[in-house]
Amino acid sequence: MHNIAFRNQSNMADWIFPNGTLVHVDNIDEAPEIIAIGVEELVDLNASNLVKASTTNQRLWTEGIRRVLHEHGSYILLVVEQLVGVCLFIFARPHLAPFIKDFAVSSVKTGMGGATGNKGSVAFRMVVHSTSFCFVCSHFAAGQNEVGVCLFIFARPHLAPFIKDFAVSSVKTGMGGATGNKGSVAFRMVVHSTSFCFVCSHFAAGQNEVKDRNEDFSSALRRIKFPQGREIESHDVVFWFGDFNYRFDNS
């Protein structure tokens, strides 16, 4: 499975484990213990798939991701949940399995007033040790006027006294930076002594607009600023979500 964004010169490993960017794994012991991957438009949004979505691409993605992760350590598939074109994959290291409990999945259709799943969200929740996690993958309404990039951050009340230094930032990248139909929003905070940055982006669409998508990413990385000169890469932990519009083929 090769990434069209790189003109088939690099495989999926360069996307999941990029070298020298936000995720850098020097050795197998530093590999992430939980990996969540969300995709949109997994299948063609035709009438047949709206009625009963094909799972062929889901299986191809599952096996493709599994092969890549195997090169970086042992992982087990916890869940794969698909709602038409929206799909969420969760993998974890095997040693975590005895400590994972209370897992559940849910989904909601929002296309055509809730009648179809061409737009919507899928979610998975679990408890690891004593910490609860919820992963959500969404595909919201499209269109020039919706300006649909939105970031939601929730926390348990008991954490509130330990959250500080929060700030938000955003950057428009649509039409050369003039409009917000494409762009990124970001939120940063410190919990106890660990700094977090959450980014949600919508990059340029179009099968051949690879250069524009790469520029949207670079622009967000370069132009999103927080107080005291902080940037995205200034944080201990970065979560980057969004509709990146990169394409994969199945060859």
* Amino acid, res. 62: T
Calpha distance 39→140 (Å, rounded): 12
16 found inside a domain: no
In a domain, 86, yes or no: yes
- 107, 141, 175 - which closes a domain: 141
Judgement on whether residues 99 and 149 belong to the same structural domain of the protein: no
Residue 112's domain is classified under what CATH number? 3.60.10.10
Percent of the residues in the chain that have a pLDDT greater than 90, as a whole number? 39
Same domain, 104 and 159: no
- Rg for the chain, CA atoms, rounded: 18
pLDDT in tens, 99-127: 999 999 999 988 878 888 778 899 999 99
Q: Are 217 and 200 in contact (CB under 8 A)?
A: no
Q: Which residue has the tokens 């890469």?
A: 233
Tell me if residue 182 falls in helix, strand or coil.
strand
- 136 with 173, same domain: the answer is no
**Of the candidates 112, 174, 122, the residue with the CA atom closest to the CA atom of residue 148:** 174
Claim to verify: residue 104 and residue 193 sit in the same structural domain: no
- How many distinct structural domains can be found in the chain? 2
Structural domain for 53, as ranges: 32-141
Residue where a domain stops, chosen among 117, 141, 165: 141
Q: How many residues does the chain have?
A: 251
Three-state SS at 19: coil
Q: How confident is the model over 36-78, as pLDDT tens digits?
A: 998 887 777 777 777 777 888 888 889 889 988 888 789 999 9
Q: Is 63 helix (H, G, I), strand (E, B) or coil?
A: helix
Is 103 within the bounds of a domain? yes
